[in-house]
Amino acid sequence: MSTTPTTLIVGTGLVGTSVGLALQRAGVDVHLEDLDPLHAQAAESLGAGTTRAPRSNQELGLVVVAVPPRHVGPAVCEALATWPEAVVTDVGSVKVPALLAARERGIDLSRYVGSHPMAGSERSGPWAASADLFDGRAWAVTPHEGSAAEAVQVVRRLATDCGASVVQLSPVEHDAAVARVSHLPHLMSVLAAGALVGAPPQQLALAGQGLRDVTRVAAGDPGLWSEIVTANAEQVRLLLTDVRDRVDELLAGVQDTPEALAVALRRGVAGTRLVPGKHGAPTPDYTVVYVALPDRPGELARLFADAGESGVNIEDLRIDHDPARPVGLVEVVVAQRSAATLVGSLTDRGWSVNQ
Amino acid sequence: MSTTPTTLIVGTGLVGTSVGLALQRAGVDVHLEDLDPLHAQAAESLGAGTTRAPRSNQELGLVVVAVPPRHVGPAVCEALATWPEAVVTDVGSVKVPALLAARERGIDLSRYVGSHPMAGSERSGPWAASADLFDGRAWAVTPHEGSAAEAVQVVRRLATDCGASVVQLSPVEHDAAVARVSHLPHLMSVLAAGALVGAPPQQLALAGQGLRDVTRVAAGDPGLWSEIVTANAEQVRLLLTDVRDRVDELLAGVQDTPEALAVALRRGVAGTRLVPGKHGAPTPDYTVVYVALPDRPGELARLFADAGESGVNIEDLRIDHDPARPVGLVEVVVAQRSAATLVGSLTDRGWSVNQ
């Protein structure tokens, strides 16, 4: 099908402005609107589109509602009423409540198709936006039973024009999915991080990369996350109820039944194998090569220049900082079959390497 | 004080062999012993020391017990009896049970000082060992009330000779610390990962970096972790009991009291601020610069060579893979004050950058 039609973006925060930038990059005409005219002007000055209103109903093919979660339902209805020729989508993190709110109005929703780009930032506002925000990310497209097939196509095209990969699910499936892969993990991270509050400082001196990984997402904006989790209360409650039972199992296992503990731990291992690897393929056999890294500018450059010489494709990496000395440890993830090549190549070039 | 005295390592698995390699690197004489002679020979062939027995009691100043957790107590007692002149330490993950087991024998424990290097690997056996394993890591030294001051000094020196930073705590403080910064986060990761088991595959298509971070450590060996958590049952139980209460709070918050939910989320944010940053200093103001990265060998090298040209020190980074397209997103963490320099420098060199 053709490219995304001329689009109005309602709400020029981080996500709305980024959609504008990405669409402009794809050659789409974009109009911008925000309750706060300064935000809309900022988005315009960044190149996300024009704050001039569309000339006519016919000119506009798509409205993207990018307002805070609790305002999505009413804003979708308003867009459907104001632009009777346009497809309307939103980019909210939870899909069912907005759909139900819109249905309560009793209006025709065939031109409405929800969506949710799986991208964001710890920052907010149009100034934090980027044309690249969605590149390579998943973008959920969530038609309801009454969505017109052509409307679904328009929203799918919006996602791909923004550089994302479409994952199509029903609104209920979407909310169940994000409860499981995003909201519950967020809450588990919050529990692990929350348990650090009030700890004697000496205990934290033993913290390592594992703790940093588990607790990282818990730093997210509590106001926004409260709104998201509350909006998805039903799905989150189902999973949390199960978690409560599993905490009881762990408690019993720790005290009396090591085998029950082992079962829970093996279940966790099985879960990690389900987390998609690269390019949607099953996780291949990766291994980690450890490299000691002096903590000064340019050492990473030198390391990766040397690693590049080996011709090995680096799949992932992380830097684990020494809490007390000017040296870091880089964990380089490579395919099992490439590890020996990388180790040999880096060792030859004088790096302290350990597989 | 002088360097680590001639040392006997009992148990040449990953940690024992790595201690041998690190001590040999520091110029210390090392003897190796393992129930499995093949393991001891492998460690010797790797350069971790000699399998020849020490010539006399006087020759040996230190015994490092590096056997599986459940054997530590008896092995420490045996070492104290066999080598009446030597200081004895162990490298187990939990300190109180081994101490209690040793005390049950009613022998003099003044030459015993527990310790715990905060380093490991997903691999095991002497073949996975490395002289660099402890470089820059914390190494807990955990004297009991009866430990002789000189014995404590010998074990502290062992840690620093192996390249680690000493964190001295009592055995009880240590076990409480690892329960909080390692065992509980591990179990929270296990719960998040375990919740993925049985999920419709479509749900996992929405997984992102957050899920990968939270669940990474849950992939650890369930047999080993079961043993560790069971050994630290009392401390883990205290924290898990609190977690159960907090899950109940979350459940109530999700359903009825958003303010309670927000309190829990803010507690999580506060916890993340307690996780030590680099070099033990308080976490400074970091920011993330995002760079789009074609997924082929050499691109990381090119990126870091270009970043190196900017003179900016890279604090941390991670690669977020596109599940469906040959492009990755690199998140580069730099000091707030350096971000503009890096963005400008990379943009000038043709990179697609977003802060």
Tens-place pLDDT, residues B319-335: 655 444 456 677 787 88
What residues in A contact B256, CB-CB < 8 Å?
Answer: none
Averaged over B14-34, what is the pLDDT? 96
Contact present, A163 and A191 (Cβ < 8 Å): no
pLDDT value for B320: 59
Question: Can you tell me the mean pLDDT for B221-236?
Answer: 91
Domain end: B169, B189, B208, which one?
B169
- Tell me the percentage of chain B whose pLDDT exceeds 70: 90
Measured between its terminal Cα atoms, the distance across chain B in Å is: 49
| Same domain membership, residue B101 and residue B179 | no
Nearest Cα residue in chain B from A248: B244
pLDDT of residue B282: 42
Cα A22 from Cα A132, distance rounded (Å): 7
**DSSP H/E element including A75:** helix A72-82
**Cα(B40)–Cα(B49) distance, integer angstroms:** 9
Q: Which of A31, A6, A14, A22 is nearest to A87 (CA)?
A: A6
Closest chain B residue by Cα to residue A137? B322
Counted domains in chain A = 3
In a domain, A2, yes or no: no
For residue A164, being part of any structural domain is answered with yes
Residue B311 is predicted with a pLDDT of 77
Residue A243 within a domain: yes
Residue numbers in A near B204 (CB within 8 A): 177, 181, 274-276
Residue B278 lies in a domain: no
> Residue A41: which residues within 8 A CB-CB, separation 6 or more?
A51
Domain membership of residue B1 (yes or no) is no
Q: For residue B24, what pLDDT is reported?
A: 96
Q: Are B343 and B289 in contact (CB under 8 A)?
A: yes
Banded pLDDT at A297 (limits 50, 70, 90): low
To which residue do tokens 């006399």 refer? B56
Q: How many residues in total does chain A contain?
A: 355
Residue-wise pLDDT tens digits, A144-192: 999 999 999 999 999 999 999 999 999 999 999 999 999 999 999 999 9
Domain that holds residue B72: 7-169
- Would A226 be classed as within a structural domain? yes
As a whole number of angstroms, the distance between CA A323 and CA A205 comes to: 8
Are B165 and B61 within one domain? Answer: yes
* Cβ proximity of A267 and A242 under 8 Å: no
pLDDT, one tens digit per residue, over B99-155 is: 999 999 999 999 999 999 988 765 667 877 899 999 888 999 999 999 999 999 999
Same domain assignment for residues B205 and B220: yes
A255 pLDDT band (50/70/90 cuts)? confident
- The closest CB to that of B178, out of A189, A206, A324, belongs to A206
Residue of A94, A180, A263 to mutate for B, most B C-beta atoms under 10 A: A180
State how far the Cα of B185 lies from the Cα of A80, in Å rounded to an integer. Answer: 46
- Choose among B184, B205, B214: nearest Cβ to A185: B214
CATH number at residue A246: 1.10.3660.10
Residues B302 and B263 in one domain: no
Chain-chain contact of A275 with B315 (C-beta, under 8 angstroms): no
Distance CA B59, CA B7 (A): 9
Among the candidates B272, B305, B338, a domain finishes at: B272
Residue type, position A9, single letter: I
Q: Which residue has the higher pLDDT, A121 or A222?
A: A222
First to last CA, chain A: 49
Q: Which of B135, B276, B306 sits opposite A323 (nearest CB)?
A: B276
Please tell me whether residue A79 adopts helix, strand or coil conformation: helix
One domain, residues B98 and B185: no
CATH number at residue B71: 3.40.50.720
Residue pair A131/A164 in contact (Cβ under 8 Å)? The answer is: no
Q: Please state, rounded to an integer, the average pLDDT across all residues of chain B.
A: 88
Give DSSP secondary structure letters for A29-40: -EEEE-SSHHHH
Report the pLDDT averaged over residues B177-197.
97
Give the residue, B344 or B282, on which the prediction is more confident: B344
Name the domain boundary from B169, B204, B220: B169
Inter-CA distances, A19 with A311, A351, B194, Å: 36, 43, 35
- Per CB-CB distance under 8 Å, the chain A contacts of B270 are 193-194, 197
Instruction: Report the CATH number that the domain containing residue B324 is assigned in CATH.
Output: 3.30.70.260
Residues A165 and A216 placed together within one structural domain of the fold: no
Total Cβ atoms within 10 A of residue A42: 19
Neighbouring residues of A17: CB distance < 8 A, sequence distance ≥ 6: A9, A32, A42, A43, A46, A48, A126, A129
Residues 6+ apart with CB under 8 A from B129: B14, B15, B16, B17, B18, B20, B21, B43, B46, B48
State pLDDT tens for residues B54-103.
988 888 999 999 998 889 999 999 999 999 999 999 999 999 999 999 99
Q: Which runs of consecutive H residues, i.e. helices, occur in chain B?
A: 14-25, 37-45, 72-82, 96-104, 149-161, 171-178, 184-194, 201-204, 209-215, 222-231, 233-255, 258-272, 299-309, 336-348
CA distance B20 to B7: 9
Do both B199 and B221 map to the same domain?
yes
3-state secondary structure of B96: helix
Q: Are residues B311 and B265 in the same domain?
A: no
B2 in a domain, yes or no?
no
Per-residue pLDDT, A280: 41
State the nearest Cα–Cα gap between A173 and chain B, in angstroms. 7
Same domain, B163 and B29: yes
Residues B111 and B258 in one domain: no
Given the DSSP bridges, would you call strands A87-90 and A62-65 parallel, antiparallel or unpaired? Answer: parallel
- On whether both B159 and B25 belong to a single domain, the answer is yes
Answer whether residue A1 is part of any domain. Answer: no
ipTM, two decimals, is 0.75
Residue of B nearest to A214 (CA): B214
Does A123 share its domain with A180? no
pTM over 0.80: no
* Higher pLDDT pick, B276 / A59: A59
| Chain B contact probe: residue of A115, A203, A255, A318 with most B CBs at under 10 A | A203
Report the C-alpha gap between A241 and B282 in whole angstroms: 36
Q: What's the DSSP call for residue B41?
A: H
The secondary structure of residue B311, as a DSSP letter, is T
In terms of residues, how long is chain B? 355
